[in-house]
Structure 1
Amino acid sequence: MIPAPFDYVRPSSLDEACRVLGEAASSGDDVKVLAGGQSLLPLLRLRLAYPSTLVDLGRLPELRGVEDRGDHVFIGALTTHDEVLRSSVVKERIPLVALATATVADPAVRHRGTFGGSMAHADPAGDLPAVALALDCVFVARSGEGEREIPASEFFLDYLESALEAGEVLLGVKVPALGPGWGFHYEKFHRTAQAWAIVGVAAAVRRSNGTIEEARIGLTNMGSTPVRARAVEAAIRGVSIAAAGSNGAPDPVGDACAGADEGTSPPADLHAQPDYRRHLARVLTRRAIGAASR
């Protein structure tokens, strides 16, 4: 299909981009920001989105790149998924991001789609928002009024709705670099390699003296936003890593993961019903914690 008509603007500087977006916001125009376009362009073609103005950020190299800042890694909003995957800093300092990014769509999409675009799109079926929530990432946005930081817990408001305000540009994401003793895993159940997750689990586990001292669990596609499995995080503390639950033995890890779907509102669609997603959340959380604890 052919998109509805729109004005096209391609700023050559970040200041210009903020000015254009600010003017559009003041006038009440419906403006969309174009990064990699892997989510937006299909919406335009299907006329599920019909903005009056499209602002293309492709000429802003300052929004691209990965930077090690000690206690965190800063990933520019226009950094492609492929660039994230090829970054040695990402692999060494924030491996959970690399694990989840490797499952995003297919190589063609990963070469065009951007890290910040996936976050700002705020699709609860996307792989990266759950990772951002689990790692307590911080989003950095800029407008004509200056910069502000938004914690991941406040960034995802609803289905396809983020806390970015009209006139704001997402500069990038601060990803905390967790220290020694942490293990990571991203477990995803999907129909085909290119498909959205039916359910996904991002797990970060801190181990000490044979027990799980802390866990952070983010769930993909279990509500209108990514969800933290707080019940599991609380129940898993102090559980023995060696408790595998094989051959009918007690499985305290599995018992803790039985509450993975607590507080969630999984959707119903052509791929799965809510009760099936709840079952998957419990099973995949057990797998993810087991893998992250090794």
Structure 2
Amino acid sequence: MLPFDFDYYKPETLKEAVDLFQYLDQQGNQPMFFSGGTELITLGRIDLAYTDAVIDIKDIAESKVMKVSGDHLILGSTLSLTEIEEANLFPLLTKTASEIADHTARGKITLGGNICAQIFYREAVLPFLLADSQVLIIGPEGKKVIPINEIFHEQLRLKRGEFLVQLATDSRFITAPFISIKRRQQWDTGYPLITIAALKTGQELRVAISGLCPFPFRSKEVESVLNNIEMSLEARVQGAIELVPDPILDDVEGSAEYRLFVLQNLFYDVLARLER
């Protein structure tokens, strides 16, 4: 039960959703786009989220798309992680998403909800950062298609009144060799410690990480060192560790030192798998 009341709206089109947000915002409300509700329920119960009006976008047709169009896979933002897992059209995304929360929760958590969440982890974004995916966003200024690596910096940088509609991924990344590993402090239970996702395209290794910092990230600097085959394996891993961004999480799940230790071993695992 949430400790506050809110009005509920369910628009049928993208334009109706955008117009409704603007109208409610101008009336002095605090509207929120809603596609699954897990974060609102979780954070609302502990006074870390609040809204006067929920705008439910999960049944808008464009946001429920799952199709191959030409050389791209198009995924709607309101698809549940379970739907994505069962379809298995993007194996790296399937593997990464299949380890988010538990089976029951994945049936409610949506792709866009995870990517745009306030929580640290947001593992579903990692495959899209690696694949240079394009995002379709709609808001008061209309539709925009933007490379995800230009708009995702610690979080998806949406303007007020905008929301994520779709993500498009080139098929050459979908079929690339990949690895996705999640490490937890308590084996198969508890929150994740670190998740690493990597793929190889040509001779280039790409790596994205969640759980090390208070945000998921892909670092070109880290990748440059890991791809430098003129260095020893140990030097590459140590050099990559020295280039990860700050701050490193230090909490009950694991100290900063322990997280870096785990990451070091994950780098070795990634290199061993993808450089065979």
- Where on the TM-score scale, by shorter chain, does this alignment land: which range? 0.7 to 0.9
Distance 1:146 1:100, change over 3 A: same
Q: Distance in 1 between matches of 2:57 and 2:258?
A: 40
Aligned: 1:278 with 2:272:
no
Q: CA deviation at 1:179?
A: 5.5
Q: CA RMSD in A?
A: 2.5
Please say which of residues 41-50 and 228-237 is displaced more in the overlay: 228-237
Aligned: 1:49 with 2:63:
no
Q: CA deviation at 1:180?
A: 9.3
Calculate the TM-score normalised by the size of structure 2.
Answer: 0.88
Q: Distance in 2 between matches of 1:215 and 1:44?
A: 40
| Identical residues among aligned pairs (%) | 23
Runs ≥4 residues deviating over 4 A = none
Aligned: 1:218 with 2:218:
no
Verify the 8 A CA contact 1:222 1:264 in the aligned structure 2: no
Q: Report the AA paired with residue 258 of structure 1.
A: Q
Aligned: 1:260 with 2:240:
yes
Could you say which residue in structure 2 is the equivalent of 1:246? none
Q: Distance in 2 between matches of 1:10 and 1:218?
A: 35
Verify the 8 A CA contact 2:67 2:75 in the aligned structure 1: yes
Q: CA deviation at 1:108?
A: 0.6
Match of 1:228 among 218, 223, 235: 218
Verify the 8 A CA contact 2:58 2:64 in the aligned structure 1: no
Q: CA deviation at 1:181?
A: 8.1
Q: Distance in 1 between matches of 2:258 and 2:63?
A: 40
Instruction: Spell out the pairing of 1:231-250 with structure 2 (5 A cutoff).
Output: 231-237=221-227, 239=229
Verify the 8 A CA contact 2:9 2:54 in the aligned structure 1: yes
Residues 134-154 of structure 1: CA deviation (Å, up to 9, x unaligned): 222222111243101233223
Q: Distance in 1 between matches of 2:16 and 2:124?
A: 29
Distance 1:123 1:150, change over 3 A: farther
Residues 203-244 of structure 1: CA deviation (Å, up to 9, x unaligned): 01135xxxxx1011101122232222434421333639xxxx
Q: Report the AA paired with residue 14 of structure 1.
A: L
Can you give the 5+ residue segments of structure 2 that lack an aligned partner in the other structure?
none
Could you say which residue in structure 1 is the equivalent of 2:272? 290
Could you say which residue in structure 1 is the equivalent of 2:180? 186
The total of aligned residue pairs comes to 273
Distance 1:255 1:182, change over 3 A: farther
Distance 1:18 1:193, change over 3 A: farther
Q: Report the AA paired with residue 166 of structure 1.
A: R
Instruction: Spell out the pairing of 1:23-34 with structure 2 (5 A cutoff).
Output: 23-27=23-27, 29-34=29-34
Aligned: 1:123 with 2:103:
no
Q: CA deviation at 1:86?
A: 1.5
3-state SS, counterpart of residue 107 of structure 2: helix
3-state SS, counterpart of residue 235 of structure 2: helix
Q: Distance in 2 between matches of 1:189 and 1:236?
A: 20
Distance 1:179 1:136, change over 3 A: closer
Q: Report the AA paired with residue 80 of structure 1.
A: S
3-state SS, counterpart of residue 191 of structure 2: coil
Q: Report the AA paired with residue 166 of structure 2.
A: G
3-state SS, counterpart of residue 39 of structure 1: helix
Could you say which residue in structure 1 is the equivalent of 2:191? 196
Please say which of residues 192-201 and 52-61 is displaced more in the overlay: 192-201
Q: Distance in 2 between matches of 1:125 and 1:37?
A: 17
Q: Distance in 2 between matches of 1:46 and 1:113?
A: 19
Aligned: 1:84 with 2:84:
yes
Q: Report the AA paired with residue 257 of structure 2.
A: D
Verify the 8 A CA contact 1:219 1:281 in the aligned structure 2: no
Q: CA deviation at 1:83?
A: 1.1
Could you say which residue in structure 2 is the equivalent of 1:114? 110
Verify the 8 A CA contact 2:183 2:192 in the aligned structure 1: yes
Aligned: 1:141 with 2:131:
no
Can you give the 5+ residue segments of structure 1 that lack an aligned partner in the other structure?
208-212, 241-250
Residues 72-117 of structure 1: CA deviation (Å, up to 9, x unaligned): 21110111111111214x1xxx321111011111111111111111
Distance 1:109 1:289, change over 3 A: farther
Please say which of residues 104-113 and 252-261 is displaced more in the overlay: 252-261
Verify the 8 A CA contact 2:123 2:216 in the aligned structure 1: no
3-state SS, counterpart of residue 121 of structure 1: coil
Verify the 8 A CA contact 1:232 1:257 in the aligned structure 2: no
